[in-house]
Structure 1
Amino acid sequence: MAILLVALTFVVLLIPGLTSYGFRNCIQSSVIINSYNCIARGLTDVKSAVGDLPSDVWYLNISYNNIQTLHQGSFGHMPFLRTLRLNHNQLQRLDPGAFENLTMLEKLHLSSNKISNLSKEVFCGLQNVSWLFLDDNLLSSIHPEAFSHLTNLQNLNLSMNNLHNFEKVVQSIHPLQKLNTLMLCSNQISSLNHTHRLPSTLRWLFLCKNQLATLDCQQDFFLNISWLDLSYNNIATSSLQTMDLRKVIYLNVAFNGNFDILIFIKNPTVPINRIDYSGLNLNNDSKLKTMCRYLKGFNINTLYLSGNKIKTLNRGTLTDCPLNKTLDLSRNRLKGLGCLEFMSKTNVENLIVEHNLLKELINCSKKSHFPRLRHISFRYNRIWIVKGNAFHFAPNLQTLYLNINNIVFLERYSFSGLGKLRELRLDNNLITDLYENSFANLTELRILNLRNNRVSVIFSKVFYNLGKLTTLDLGGNKITQLKNQSFYGLRSLSKLYLDGNQIKEISRYVFSHVESTLLVLDLKSNHLRYNTTRETYSPFLTLSKLYDLKLQAQQPYGLTAIPQGFFKGLKSLKALYLAQNRISSLSSDAFNELGQLTYLSLAEDCNGIQRLPPGIFKNLKNLQILDLENICLQYMRMEVFSSLTNLKRLLLTKNALTHINIKVFENMTQLKYLDLRKCPLSCTCNNAELQMWFKKGPVQIVLPYNLTCPANENSYFHDFDTHVCDMEIKIKLFCSSFTSILLFIIIPIVYSKFYWMIKYNYFLFVAWLHERWKSEKELYKYDAFVSYNTHDEEWVYKIMLPVLETSALRLCLHHRDFQLGRDIIDNIVDSIHNSRKTICVVSRSYLQSEWCSLEMQLASYKLFDEMRDVLVLILLDNIPDRELSTYHRMRKLMLKKTYITWPTEPEAQQLFWAKVQEAVSGKRPSEGHQGIKIVKW
């Protein structure tokens, strides 16, 4: 098994199947396949953006980079490009022919750069461009023929540049026979002096925020202009009064300090009913009434009076004004409007009073009605109270905007009489309480927005009469609980927003009154929390039509766990948001009920999920988008992802993935988009196939060239060396490595346990080669080799040696018979094998000696080699078994061998020497002799 595991770490099988591709600095849209974004990539040249893009690109956005120059033919391989965005770069130079071959380009965005001039050939080849944006640059000069190649140009924006010379601008656009709109605002133009005419097709001309004082142009210069903006200049009344403006349908001369509108409108050639009267200092009743008298009898759809510093409007001030559709009083200083007495009987449909100082909306129950009034906007004021019947004057009102005020109080029946109201916006106020009669009469209301107020409780039957309401937005309030009757009466509600509240619990009966109609439910950023998956609980059991559910970012701890059957009943759910919830426990059957789900987000749960249980997505056959960004995912397992057969987008950004087996993607046959940014993929052979898979195919890997190797930030995943990962080399490396590892393991073990046996066999082999060993028939050089310790040398020389050698026995002693200068091991081996027997004189000193142990061990090897008794053991000391147990080799040998004990009694010593002589000479001693002890194993 161990060998198999080692083998698997070296051998990787090649798996054919789904392949992928990616671009160095661009991301292909997952919705529009011909659309590419290369935004904010820090690029300094165009080539690094478009170099690896295909030729069939339609839309290309390279905005917010640091590109300074466009060289000739920068986009030459993109003949099908329709829209090109290069805004917010550092462009300073556009070489001639920079856009050549873009014959199908329609929109070119060059805004917010540092272009100072336009050469003659800069737009060569752009004959199909209809929109050109050059605003917010440093343009000071334009070649007279710079736009000559733009034969289909209709809209040209040159605002916010340094084009002081209006004549040169007109000269450059004169050839444009299809130009419809020209924007020249904020260019410091001081004169309209000219020799060339404007293109006859030009209808919209913007000259706002310049330095025009006298126009200094021909009287019919604006003859064909329909929309003329001359606001924020210094134009005198007389300068404009002489101009022929008969065809102008909108004229804006706001905020011209020396302009008197009341003198200007006396000119019979001026279309006074088409003037924007904003910013013309009409700040009192007298001026407004005078203006209205001049306008009387004209047909005016929209009367713009914004920015006139109007503080009050008295009864009848605008009575003579022909208000047919829209009245705009925004950006004045009005503190009150009464009940609209200032405009008396009128046909106005839209009333816009935004960005004023309105504080209170009074009761208008007995005031005149405006039956044609359909829309009122009082946004961006300081309204703090809405009295009862405040809008009684507009019985047919359909939309009412009171958002972004300071409303604290809504009196009872504030909206009384608005039986036809369809949309009511009260968001971004300070409302704390909603009562049963707050919306009592709004039976036709479709949209109610109460977002970002201070509502804490939704009492029962507050929305009782809103039977036709389809959208209710209560997000951003302080709601802590929902009562079972909170949504009673909302029989048509389809969208409910409760995000950003403090709801801690949802009863399974809360949505019982909207269960048959609710389609969208937003519970994001509340205080919902569940601690265990063992509990069985579903607050959505009856919401069978719900298709969008947001539960992400529950505060402050997140959901933590999802109870069993939590999503039971959501048969139609298409999108589920569970991000930022620190989910630590997610069971494998959590999503079993969501067979129709197409979008699932579990992103930003790095403190929670970390590991997905097998089979968690098994029922999500229709899932198309899966967001798993930053969940600390470490492995991608087949048993987790194998069922996602219809998945198109998989987001795995900022996970802990170091290795990905591409088999995981085999079943994802519809996958088109894979995001692995900021994943620490290891640059090793484990990922060799993944690197190969990155390089081509139908799956887009988002910015694969940005993936660095974790061990070295200067090396990249896409080009780490995979040659060593070749199969043949892998096998060779495995074989050699495995063998080497095996030898490194075995050799030390063999060395430590069998060193002397190996040494002995080595000398045996050498002796055999030199024919030094004698056969059994030949005589030995010695009868016995004596192995003893130096502490026992006196006994050996004075007692044993005289007795045995006088008996004609030849003994070998190392002090006497070893060859001088020769290795001691060689002397020992030779002496043992030149002797018939080996006598081991065993004592306590002998047992403690390493050399004696070696001599005994080598003699033992001879015993095993020749398979006969060659050892004679003499025990000088009486050594107990417990003491002998420490020397396991000696004890083991004595259990198997006969040994002779040295007796201390003189009368027994004669028998002792007889037995030694018999043991050395090879004759078997007679049975019954004392001093001999036979022990069997």
Structure 2
Amino acid sequence: MTKDKGIILRNFVFLVAFTSEVITLSSDKNEFAIDMSKVGLTHVPKDLPLKTEVLDISQNYIAELSLSEFRYLPRLKILRLSHNRLRYLDFSIFNLNRNLEYLDLSNNQLKRITCHSITSLKYLDLSFNDFDVSPICKEFGNLTQLIFLGLSVAKLQLDLLPIAHLHLECILLELEHYYVKEDARESFQVLNTKALHLVFHPNSLFSVKANLSVNALECLQLTNIKLNDVNCQVFMEFLSEFTRGPSLLNLTFNQIETTWKCLVQVFQFLWSKPIEYLNIYNLTIVESIGEERFIYPRTTLKALNIEHITNRVFIFSQKALYTVFSEMNIKMLTISDTPFIHMLCPQTLSTFMFLNFTRNVFTDSVFQNCSTLVKLETLILQKNGLKGLLKVGLMTKDMSSLKILDVSGNSLEYERREGNCTWAWSIVVLNLSSNLLTDSVFRCLPLRVKVLDLHNNRIRSIPKAVNSLEVLEELNVAFNSLTNLPGCGAFSGLSVLTIDYNAISNPSADFFQNCPMIRSLKAGNNPFQCTCELREFIHSVGQASRAVVEDWPASYKCDYPESSKGTPLQDFRVSQLSCNPSLLMATVVGTVLVWAIATAILCVYFDVPWYLRMVCQWTQTRRRARNLHVQELRRALQFHAFISYSGHDSAWVKTELLPNLEKEDIRVCLHERNFVPGKSIMGNIINFIEKSYKSIFVLSPHFVQSEWCHYELYFAHHNLFHEGSDNLILILLEPIPQHSIPGNYYKLRTLMAQRTYLEWPKEKAKQGLFWANIKAAFNVQLMLMTENNAEASF
């Protein structure tokens, strides 16, 4: 029954403001709201926070309430105690709760209450209890702010005088235990309420016979109505008491079980009454469905709303059922959540302006070749069994006033080969969402449509060659498989685009330029690839107004690469250099050139080439020394080095070369010191070159002018080739121009061209490396002969 009450409360417009306040106070985000429902409580907790404003302790096992449980909750506004085991209640326990506005005590076992005035109450529900007598007492007359009152009634003869002066918005009377003797008729008067909700026993046939008088009643809801062909007249007599005056505008039946014949009779009865809105929820049709005569007189009824029909008649005439509804002379008809598979086309020009057939089983045959719905402006066919978009278009062909068409939630498909689509020229709002449509749908659309909803389909792209929708203002293609933002070539007037939840990774940066009319773009929740291509789009979003891009930046995040996944697009950074290949190449080339020039300058400034040559020579010398054959190393030698030089260079030899060599224990052969007297000069040269490990030649312009130096070089070179060793060390003391070398010094030319020589550096800092190279050439242990041994050999 609580659910039934919720349904009727939602239908009463006058309670919207108060209900919104209750919902706000009891929301989970309210730090002063406590929900302890369904936790098995037997008593109200005593350790509740003093600031509690909303307390829900419904659906527990609480049997008693006391003052001490509520005295420390001075800010309490909403108290839910429904579905407990209360038998008695003293309202004085709420004396200290002066802000209490909402008190729900429904669905307990209350038999008696002790009244006390709670002047702050706006909502008091005592329905679905076990009162033996009326719970209304004189103290209720002080509840001047009360707008809702719920009561359980065993008899309709209630003493409502204490609350007669109150201007209530709604009274709920639960009559499940109502019993009246046969042929007895009671009187019941409810004053100053805009809405009355009567709940009858769910399993008993309707049998209430009463004279009810309600002042200014605007809304009446009746719940749990069970009718057959016998008591149908009793029900209509009961209704007649409420429909005598012109004030009742809204009539609602909930949980009604009836025969088809009785239902048609009720329609016929109400058709001439001053009711404007008739709502039927949870209708069950029993017994049989046959042809029933229904006359449609002039009526004030504007809308008939029927939701959720259960048909327990399995064999019946479809025409008998559908004709009653299709011929109704009203403006708005809603039949939803039913097993209806069809609806007939009206036989004459229809007054329907609004038709809603949501959640039925309609097929493509509905309203085909129907030319009588010329006043229809809104047609809703959500969640049916429609399959062909082409047939849907043909259905609307003669609906010359149709503006809004909703066929979402079907299984619509369209292929280009099916032919051209025909639509009502007047359609401006078209909802094709949640179907099976592909890219070809853009070739089958009404040309004057302004609002188009295609979300949740199978669209991968918007073809460039599509019918021009010049007046299209709003397009929703969310939840598809689009990979890019569409251009506005065919949609020149597009101002609102919803394209979130697609497969867009690199949206076009020129979208805002191509779509100058856009004022709202919703493109979040796409798998954006945060690469260079995305920079321009982010920049264009920055230039556009943030109000234009919906959900920015929360819904716009990187999906690739993995290192940036989840990063908001507005925080994505990548350098201009890495995204511009030409600029990158120019930067790299420029950097290399600068580095090369700087290196060259530094090399020249610090004479790096000379150092490199010297290091290379030192390395090669060490390597050659390590690779000498053991037999050659054991060869009997007298000197480490034979030195050949010009007399003009003797000063450098004696002051620089000899001291540095001999301090390293290198034995040097000089002609003026070691040549054997009495021997020919040529014989001495040959003999001592052969008895020396290396031959050092000090080259200079003076060297090339010395004939003996030439002989020494000749024999040393001859020894080089004869023994296959590398025993020449060339020291360039001073530069020797090639043109200054005599022609007969061809060996010197050859050696200087083919062999590496050591240059004597003038700078003091370089001389250490020079001597290291000389020393490396003698980094071997030799078995040197003594001078006596040498002389003996001669």
TM-score w.r.t. the length of structure 2 is 0.54
Select the residue among 546, 559, 571 that pairs with 1:708: 559
Distance in 1 of aligned mates of 2:500 and 2:98: 59
Distance in 2 of aligned mates of 1:428 and 1:581: 28
Q: Are 1:543 and 2:399 counterparts?
A: yes
What amino acid does structure 2 have at the position aligned with 1:493? Answer: F
For 1:691, what is the secondary structure of its paired residue?
helix
Change (3 A) 1:695 1:490: same
Select the residue among 664, 675, 679 that pairs with 2:511: 664
Distance in 2 of aligned mates of 1:203 and 1:727: 63
Q: Are 1:610 and 2:460 counterparts?
A: yes
Alignment deviations for residues 73-104 of structure 1 (CA, whole Å, 9 cap, x no partner): xxxxxxxxxxxxxx9xxxxxxxxxxxxxxxxx
Distance in 1 of aligned mates of 2:103 and 2:361: 49
Change (3 A) 1:564 1:446: farther
Q: Does the CA contact (< 8 Å) of 1:642 and 1:664 recur in 2?
A: no
Q: Does the CA contact (< 8 Å) of 1:490 and 1:513 recur in 2?
A: yes
Distance in 2 of aligned mates of 1:137 and 1:706: 37
Deviation for aligned residue 1:546: 1.7
Q: Are 1:471 and 2:327 counterparts?
A: no
Select the residue among 500, 522, 526 that pairs with 2:380: 522
Alignment deviations for residues 717-771 of structure 1 (CA, whole Å, 9 cap, x no partner): 725552165565544449999xxxxxxxxxxxxxxxxxxxxxxxxxxxxxxxxxx
Change (3 A) 1:345 1:405: closer
Instruction: State which structure, 1 or 2, has the greater radius of gyration over its C-alpha atoms.
Output: 2
Change (3 A) 1:254 1:529: closer
Distance in 2 of aligned mates of 1:728 and 1:687: 13
Change (3 A) 1:627 1:733: farther
Distance in 2 of aligned mates of 1:564 and 1:490: 30
Distance in 1 of aligned mates of 2:94 and 2:381: 63
Residue pairs, 1:159-308, within 5 angstroms: 164=46, 169=50, 184=55, 186=57, 190-192=65-67, 206=79, 208=81, 240-241=114-115, 243=116, 252-253=125-126, 261=133, 271=141, 278=150, 282-283=153-154, 289=157, 291-292=158-159, 306-307=173-174
Q: Are 1:488 and 2:347 counterparts?
A: yes
Distance in 2 of aligned mates of 1:297 and 1:705: 59
Q: Does the CA contact (< 8 Å) of 2:102 and 2:123 recur in 1?
A: yes
Q: Are 1:342 and 2:247 counterparts?
A: no
Q: Does the CA contact (< 8 Å) of 1:222 and 1:244 recur in 2?
A: no
Select the residue among 358, 364, 387 that pairs with 1:504: 364
Q: Are 1:692 and 2:550 counterparts?
A: no
Q: Does the CA contact (< 8 Å) of 1:192 and 1:215 recur in 2?
A: no
Q: Does the CA contact (< 8 Å) of 1:536 and 1:564 recur in 2?
A: no
Change (3 A) 1:404 1:488: farther
For 1:576, what is the secondary structure of its paired residue?
strand
Distance in 1 of aligned mates of 2:493 and 2:253: 46
For 1:689, what is the secondary structure of its paired residue?
helix
Distance in 2 of aligned mates of 1:342 and 1:435: 32
Change (3 A) 1:683 1:674: same
Alignment deviations for residues 817-840 of structure 1 (CA, whole Å, 9 cap, x no partner): xxxxxxxxxxxxxxxxxxxxxxxx
Q: Does the CA contact (< 8 Å) of 1:408 and 1:429 recur in 2?
A: no
Q: Are 1:135 and 2:135 counterparts?
A: no
Distance in 2 of aligned mates of 1:602 and 1:436: 42
Deviation for aligned residue 1:676: 3.3
Distance in 1 of aligned mates of 2:529 and 2:362: 43
Select the residue among 431, 447, 461 that pairs with 1:577: 431
Pairwise CA RMSD: 5.4
Residue pairs, 1:314-353, within 5 angstroms: 314=181, 319-324=186-191, 328-330=197-199, 332=201, 335-338=204-207, 340-343=208-211, 349=217, 352-353=221-222
Q: Are 1:626 and 2:497 counterparts?
A: no
Distance in 1 of aligned mates of 2:349 and 2:73: 59
Distance in 2 of aligned mates of 1:161 and 1:673: 55
Alignment deviations for residues 761-813 of structure 1 (CA, whole Å, 9 cap, x no partner): xxxxxxxxxxxxxxxxxxxxxxxxxxxxxxxxxxxxxxxxxxxxxxxxxxxxx
Deviation for aligned residue 1:401: 3.2
Q: Does the CA contact (< 8 Å) of 2:36 and 2:56 recur in 1?
A: no
Deviation for aligned residue 1:373: 1.0
TM-score w.r.t. the length of structure 1 is 0.47
Q: Does the CA contact (< 8 Å) of 1:298 and 1:322 recur in 2?
A: no
What amino acid does structure 2 have at the position aligned with 1:524? Answer: Q
Aligned position for 1:679:
526
Distance in 2 of aligned mates of 1:233 and 1:464: 46
Residue pairs, 1:380-459, within 5 angstroms: 399-407=250-258, 409-411=260-262, 413-418=265-270, 419-420=272-273, 421-426=275-280, 428-431=282-285, 435=291, 437-438=293-294, 440-441=296-297, 443-453=299-309, 457=318
What amino acid does structure 2 have at the position aligned with 1:310? Answer: H
Change (3 A) 1:491 1:256: closer
Deviation for aligned residue 1:548: 0.8
Distance in 1 of aligned mates of 2:496 and 2:210: 59
Distance in 2 of aligned mates of 1:692 and 1:223: 58
Deviation for aligned residue 1:470: 0.8
Q: Does the CA contact (< 8 Å) of 1:300 and 1:323 recur in 2?
A: no
Change (3 A) 1:272 1:521: same
Deviation for aligned residue 1:251: 5.5
Change (3 A) 1:441 1:730: same
Deviation for aligned residue 1:400: 4.2
Q: Does the CA contact (< 8 Å) of 2:433 and 2:454 recur in 1?
A: yes
Distance in 2 of aligned mates of 1:636 and 1:657: 7
Aligned position for 1:601:
453
Distance in 2 of aligned mates of 1:477 and 1:194: 49
Deviation for aligned residue 1:577: 1.3
Distance in 1 of aligned mates of 2:415 and 2:327: 38
Change (3 A) 1:317 1:205: farther
Aligned position for 1:354:
223
Q: Does the CA contact (< 8 Å) of 1:295 and 1:321 recur in 2?
A: no
What amino acid does structure 2 have at the position aligned with 1:600? Answer: L
For 2:536, what is the secondary structure of its paired residue?
helix
For 2:440, what is the secondary structure of its paired residue?
coil
Q: Does the CA contact (< 8 Å) of 2:282 and 2:307 recur in 1?
A: yes
Alignment deviations for residues 137-162 of structure 1 (CA, whole Å, 9 cap, x no partner): 689xxxxxxxxxxxxxxxxxxxx998
Deviation for aligned residue 1:663: 1.4
For 1:466, what is the secondary structure of its paired residue?
coil
Distance in 2 of aligned mates of 1:676 and 1:492: 42
Deviation for aligned residue 1:666: 1.2
What amino acid does structure 1 have at the position aligned with 2:279? Answer: R
Q: Does the CA contact (< 8 Å) of 1:191 and 1:216 recur in 2?
A: no
Distance in 1 of aligned mates of 2:94 and 2:563: 72
Alignment deviations for residues 571-603 of structure 1 (CA, whole Å, 9 cap, x no partner): 3x2211122332346276534x533x3321222
Alignment deviations for residues 360-393 of structure 1 (CA, whole Å, 9 cap, x no partner): 772428986765513xxxxxxxxxxxxxxxxxx9
Q: Are 1:112 and 2:10 counterparts?
A: no
Change (3 A) 1:529 1:250: closer
Distance in 2 of aligned mates of 1:480 and 1:234: 46
What amino acid does structure 1 have at the position aligned with 2:57? Answer: S
What amino acid does structure 2 have at the position aligned with 1:364? Answer: Q
For 2:482, what is the secondary structure of its paired residue?
coil
Aligned position for 1:313:
180
User: Which runs of no fewer than 5 residues in structure 2 stay unpaired?
Assistant: 1-19, 590-794
What amino acid does structure 2 have at the position aligned with 1:322? Answer: Q
Alignment deviations for residues 104-159 of structure 1 (CA, whole Å, 9 cap, x no partner): xxx9868426xxxxxxxxxxxxxxxxxx77223689xxxxxxxxxxxxxxxxxxxx
User: Which runs of no fewer than 5 residues in structure 1 stay unpaired?
Assistant: 1-86, 88-106, 114-131, 140-159, 174-181, 375-392, 738-937
Distance in 2 of aligned mates of 1:727 and 1:490: 67
